[in-house]
Chains A and B, each alone.
Chain A
Amino acid sequence: MSATQSRVNDFVLKIATVNGTGSASANGMLMKALFRMGIPVAGKNMFPSNIQGLPTWYEIRANRDGYMSRAGRVDIMVAMNAQTYKKDLAEVSPGGFLVYDSTWPRERDLKRDDITVLGVPLSKLCNEHFSVARLRILMKNVAYVGAVAALLDIDLDIVRTLLEESFAAKPKLVEGNLQAIMLGYDYARENFTCPLPVRAEAMNGNAGQILIDGNAAIGLGCVYAGATVGAWYPITPSTSVMDAFTHYCEVFRHDPETGEKRYCIVQAEDELAAAGIVLGANWVGARAFTPTSGPGISLMSEFIGFAYYAEIPSVFVDIQRVGPSTGMPTRTQQCDVMLCAYASHGDTRHPMLFPANPAECFDLSVKAFDLAERLQTPVFLLSDLDIGMNDWRVPELSWDNSYRPDRGKVLGPADLDKMEKFVRYTDTDGDGITYRTLPGEDPRGAYFVRGSGHNSKGVYTEDAVEYQEVMERLLVKWDTAKKLVPPAVISRAKKPTRLGIVAYGSSDGAVVEARDKLMAQGIPTNYLRLRGFPFGAEVLDFLHQHDTVFVVEQNRDGQMKSLLKLETNNVADKLVSILHFNGLPIPAACVVDGISQHLASEVAA
């Protein structure tokens, strides 16, 4: 789309600020105001590993068609950070606009003729209006909300209502904030032609939608799943999962009369301990989980393998990020697929779930507990920083009150009454899943949990035949898991095609948008979105139905492509990786370009 065309409800607003200056609430206000105007929006944080002082960006994509992946374009840049001004200026797309605080001059040599630069003396306006020093600094970030509202034609009544809601507890603050907003708003109206050709217009695109981040949805999902024990060690970007679980437990799980808590959250000494706590709690029959990220999974790996062999239900939430160690932990990736699939020593394989957005984070959190208890094994919920820490517009979460958790094969005293003798690891149903008992209930159900050294009766063994028997039975259970994990979602083109796309998790938005763009170019594609591992029959069928299957993912080494090769037959030649791994969420252009280039190279060859 050329620069001169108007972009009504189709633009990217990016705000560059300094970490720790209160800009998050200002940005949230802009995001929510657009949402309330009925315009589909997606907000993405690009933040440093820092508490105060380093650059941070917030990117809002408004799109009337509901495309919510990162656009890879900037139509309006609000450049509040002098430190990054040069870079921010360069990032504006041709024909775009840049708003900056013109109180202080910017470097003269930084000029662009193909964009419009709008100076608003935000600091000056605030310094003149507010007498308290701290207010002057804070209000500068509120004032740009006003300037942007004028430039984009954002409804001021909505902004005012949002202010009243966010300061419901401190109504005195509403007036000051509103004054700051009006400073920016009035200045923009007086000095520029408002609105810009890039602007917002009320529409009805958000009926039945909410704004939520994936980590909040997982915390809420764990409450709804009936999890009572949460163990964790703080690690970005998973920390807000436990923050949310704690918050929703405080809301929903305090006994109204006694104030007693129907949950127990343990901040462990490290991720190893968090894993041990999850195993211990699930062993005694309490639903327990731990949220972590890649480095945490590495540390938990010994316990994960133990849980696989000892068949202890356990839920591991991995909010994937770029690894390892310092530098990029606040950037997103889908880079723990291989790590989680085979985590630990010995022969181990684990079910994984791949939510594509916060709504699925909620649903699949519940599913993870059901699977873990049904299969008596560790289950991984693989989200990522993009889903987990960004603001997503998703369909309202729903709950079926008739849902009851699947606690799997658990025998209580009444069941033991009917049995001659309980044995822990003998498969009597042919599905590879054996019956367990819970500590604290009945001495007849007592058994001893051990790693590799147990036989089908749950008795210590170092016998070759007995060990192998257990291992082969675990393979039967793996086959059962294929039928229990959520099936892939398949979307077919209106025209027949031999081109397939496989993606999962947060890559979904980019693929959905890319398929429409490719279709417009005359390239129809079928799309399979993986939601679970092990792969079900529908995945194998899809792979076999297509000549070329593009596997879109956000890591360097094509981890899901490798997993597909390892776990299926005769597909290796047709799999083509489309990769995005710079730490930013994948844009649709990456998929369009990748597929187009591959097809062009095939023609050339």
Chain B
Amino acid sequence: MTYIAKPKINLPGQKRNALGLLQRDYEGSLSTLCAGCGHDSITAALVQALWELAIAPEKLVKLSGIGCSSKTPAYFVSGAHGFNSVHGRMPSVATGAHAGNRDLICIGVSGDGDSLSIGFGQFGHAIRRNLNMLYLIENNGVYGLTKGQFSASADPGSTARKGAANQMQSINPVATAIAMGASFVGRSFSGDRDQLVALIKAGIAHPGCALLDVISPCVTFNDHVGSTKSYAYTREHKHEATATDYVPLASEITTQYAAGEVVSVQLHDGSHIVLKKADADFDPTKRSSALRYIEKHRDRGEIPTGLLFIDEHWPEMHAIAGTAKRPLKEFAFEELNPGREALERLQRSMR
């Protein structure tokens, strides 16, 4: 496999975003994943969302671990620095990157093997420290690069391509994240571009760790009858719990909703995440309600999608730590080094 540069094609009539950039400016190199892979649809949604948000490419960092999912940061925004780290450890690298430069917009792309097995600890602790990032799990229930072993998100009874059924419990990243105290948890499907783009935008705007679990069928190893992560199964069983809209600060909320069905969450920068709920008894701002809702639909064999939980007030890592607003990497040496006289004073107590 080699690196394939993606040709930049100028099409007439392409729109420019607020930075004057075209959508193709948010693309990366050509995908080397299998044709029809759900991950490529997610990449396309990322490109669209980042273009619509008009994020300057250099302000973005793309990080990943190991696996098919972790290849995808190469396929969007080639003007952003990327970091393809080691298996399951993307969250720690993202933590360091954001610790050193809090102005960076961090997008971490992980998979179900990367986050729910080898990296389960780092997944939990990125959530615990509420690292300000979009944490995207491309969830297909299998290990693709090593040829189709079940992952920890495979549902009990779901079958492998050759017929063997998974007999272990599945780790549900959404319920787990909410239980661990995540401040933003959403689920989507790679085949639902509109919902995915809206959730990505909301997740990037959210000032904390935004976990997005995206069911992304593996066309090679997990798209057969008997799989619960196939295109057909997901389309049939997904249940849109909320319709999400991200409304930037500059825009007005124009859509009218019937009373009771909408939750509008205002973020610290004045922008809004507007959620249109499918059920009146579901409150995505309450942890217990969200968990109850998810489990109720799991009992019915349904996969609830949309923004399932949000707590926009929970402080992110730097707010908890009291770190300077200016990125640490921007401080001049003179602002960090106490100098000779201070060292002399300090040592008076060491005699």
Contacts and interface: CB of A to CB of B under 8 A. Distances in A.
A451 B125 contact: no
Given A261-B321, A446-B58, A229 B96 contact: yes
B92 A277 contact: yes
Contacts of A461: 2-3
Given A229-B100, A288-B100, A252 B338 contact: yes
Contacts of A438: 81, 329
Contacts of B318: 264
Most B C-beta atoms less than 10 A away, residue of A272, A284, A449: A284
A35 B328 contact: no
Most B C-beta atoms less than 10 A away, residue of A260, A273, A280: A280
Given A269-B124, A276-B93, A460-B74, A224 B338 contact: yes
B343 to A, nearest CB: 5
A405 interface: yes
Given A224-B338, A303-B86, A460-B2, A284 B94 contact: no
A283 B58 contact: no
A228 B329 contact: yes
Interface residues of B, number: 64
Contacts of A275: 92
Nearest to A35: B351
Interface string B76-91: 0011111111100101
Contact of A273 (B74, B121, B331, B347): B121
A259 B321 CA distance: 12
Contacts of B321: 261, 264-265
Interface stretch (A115-123, A394-402, A549-557, A578-586): A394-402
A496 interface: no
A260 B325 contact: yes
A273 B98 CA distance: 14
A450 B97 CA distance: 16
Interface residues of A, number: 77
Contacts of A460: 1-3, 74
Contacts of A303: 85-86, 89
Contacts of A285: 100-101, 329
Nearest to B348: A210
Interface in A441-483: 441-451, 459-463
B260 interface: no
A439 B327 CA distance: 12
Interface string B166-184: 0000000000000000000
A255 B328 CA distance: 13
Interface string A375-412: 00000000000000000000011111100110000000
B92 A448 contact: no
Contacts of B63: 280
A230 B1 CA distance: 38
Nearest to B3: A460
Given A224-B343, A399-B339, A284 B85 contact: no
B341 to A, nearest CB: 8
Interface of A: 35-36, 206, 209-212, 220, 223-224, 226, 228-229, 231, 251-253, 255, 258-266, 268-270, 272-286, 288, 302-303, 306, 396-401, 404-405, 437-451, 459-463
Given A273-B92, A443-B58, 9 more contacts: A224-B343, A226-B333, A259-B322, A261-B323, A273-B125, A283-B96, A284-B61, A284-B97, A448-B74
Interface of B: 1-3, 56-59, 61, 63, 73-74, 78-86, 89, 91-101, 103-104, 121-122, 124-125, 129, 317-318, 321-325, 327-329, 331, 333, 335-340, 342-344, 346-347, 350-351
Which 3 residue pairs of A and B lie closest in terms of their CB atoms, listed nearest first? Answer: A280-B96, A276-B92, A286-B100
